[in-house]
Amino acid sequence: MADLSARCGPLALRNPFLLASGIWGESGESLAGAWAAGAGGVVTKSIGSAPRFGYANPTIETYERWGMLNAMGLPNPGIDEYPKEIEIARRAGATVIGSIFGGDADEFARLGARMASTGVVALELNLSCPHAEGFGTEVGSDPKDVEAIVRRVVESSRLPVIAKLTPNTSDPVALALAAERGGASAVSAINTVRGLAIDVRLRRPVLAHGLGGLSGAAIKPVGLACVWQIYEKVSIPVIGVGGIMTADDALEYVMAGARAVEVGTAVAFEGIAVFGRLVRELGERLDALGFSELEDAVGVAHSAPSASSG
Ligand code: RRO
């Protein structure tokens, strides 16, 4: 069976499939469960300085075949409460990446230092929630802000920093280059794509918050395009996120340049058993395609001869 271990800058992962932030990560037990089910690592919910209840319901609209629209509103117990959950996951042996969100570089730096003291192996900075007033995309859309936030967290935490970037921009490469300049060890691309659903009988948006973030199969081409463009211009590793439901979806991301991937909506639809399935299927697929290591597939689509050449 092909070697599925993944090296993502300083991070060594037993396989490339990470539990994405915001799905199944609310408790230490749930993080540990995803690890036991075969995830290569788990990313926590995005944690802020203070507890937040999140937006009113409805917060999720599900599209059976192609995805999910959410506006949860960054619900989380806050950085004072959450570390005990990380401890539970770590005691179960999980490789835990701590996700944080803040309103400016100072808040990110404080949160980064606190999160680093919990024993997580890396930090993922949420610079990309598409519908949070004062957070996410609102602080992660200007390359200058991204660079400053990443730099401050790198200084305050001394841990590998992963910048999770938004697809809701005309220039994802500029954001990735800014993260690299700030000292990020990797970028993850993408968070959800801003979207909307209308209930025509009620004549109002389906989600209580109105705008939401689209995830799942529908956004895979968007995520792939971002990873593809970033890989061509940025030296730090890229983690692919968006619509990974099958091993071939993951392999597409790897061939576009990703060194690891995050799985979210597939976990929401299928449960954590998805990790065992993806690991098994990816091993079989790599064997069938003649790859002895996952690493050998990273970025190969960039060097393939163009269909129009000759
Ligand atoms: O909590 C949310 O509503 C949320 C977050 Br933090 C995020 O990063 N992306 C998203 O689609 N929803």
- Could you state, in order of their start, the residue ranges of all structural domains in the chain? 6-302
The H or E element containing residue 87 is: helix 83-91
Q: Which CATH architecture has domain 6-302?
A: Alpha-Beta Barrel (3.20)
The DSSP-derived string for 144-188 is HHHHHHHHHHHHHH-S-EEEEEPSSSS-HHHHHHHHHHHT-SEEE
SS3 state at 233: helix
Separation of CA 68 and ligand 1 centre (Å): 12
Q: pLDDT category, 310, cuts 50, 70, 90?
A: very low
**Does ligand 1 come within 6 angstroms of the Cβ of 73?**
yes
**Does ligand 1 come within 6 angstroms of the Cβ of 216?**
no
Alpha helices, H only, 134-293: 137-140, 143-157, 172-182, 220-233, 247-256, 265-270, 273-289
Quote the pLDDT of residue 309.
44
Burial class (CB in 10 A: 0-12, 13-18, 19+), 191: buried
Whether the per-residue pLDDT at 304 is higher than 80: the answer is no
Whose CA is closest to atom 10 on ligand 1? Answer: 129
From CA 232, how far away is CA 81, in angstroms rounded? Answer: 40
Those residues whose C-beta lies under 8 Å from the C-beta of residue 228, and which sit 6 or more positions away, are 256, 257, 301, 302
> pTM to 2 decimals?
0.97
**Could you count the other beta carbons within 10 Å of the beta carbon of residue 60?**
14
**Does ligand 1 come within 6 angstroms of the Cβ of 168?**
no
- The atom number, within ligand 1, closest to the CA of 59 reads 3
Whether the per-residue pLDDT at 223 is higher than 70: the answer is yes
Give 60's strand partners. 70
From CA 115, how far away is CA 5, in angstroms rounded? Answer: 26
Separation of CA 62 and ligand 1 centre (Å): 15
- Catalytic residue selected from 2, 129, 244, 245: 129
Q: DSSP code of 27?
A: S
Q: What is the pLDDT of residues 13-66, one digit of tens each?
A: 999 999 999 998 889 999 999 999 999 999 999 999 999 999 999 999 999 889
Please name the amino acid found at residue 256: A
Quote the pLDDT of residue 308.
54
Separation of CA 12 and ligand 1 centre (Å): 26
Q: What is the pLDDT of residues 91-129, one digit of tens each?
A: 999 999 999 999 999 999 999 999 999 999 999 999 999
65 versus 292: the higher-pLDDT residue is 292
Separation of CA 44 and ligand 1 centre (Å): 12
How does 10-42 read in b/e, with b if 16+ C-beta sit within 10 Å? Answer: ebebebbbbbbbbbbbbbbebbbbbbebbbbbb
Whose CA is closest to atom 9 on ligand 1? Answer: 129
- Would you call 129 a catalytic residue per the annotation? yes
Separation of CA 73 and ligand 1 centre (Å): 6
| Ligand 1, pocket-test mutation among 69, 125, 131, 190, most atoms within 8 A of CB | 131
Residue 162 phi/psi, 5° resolution? Answer: -110, 125
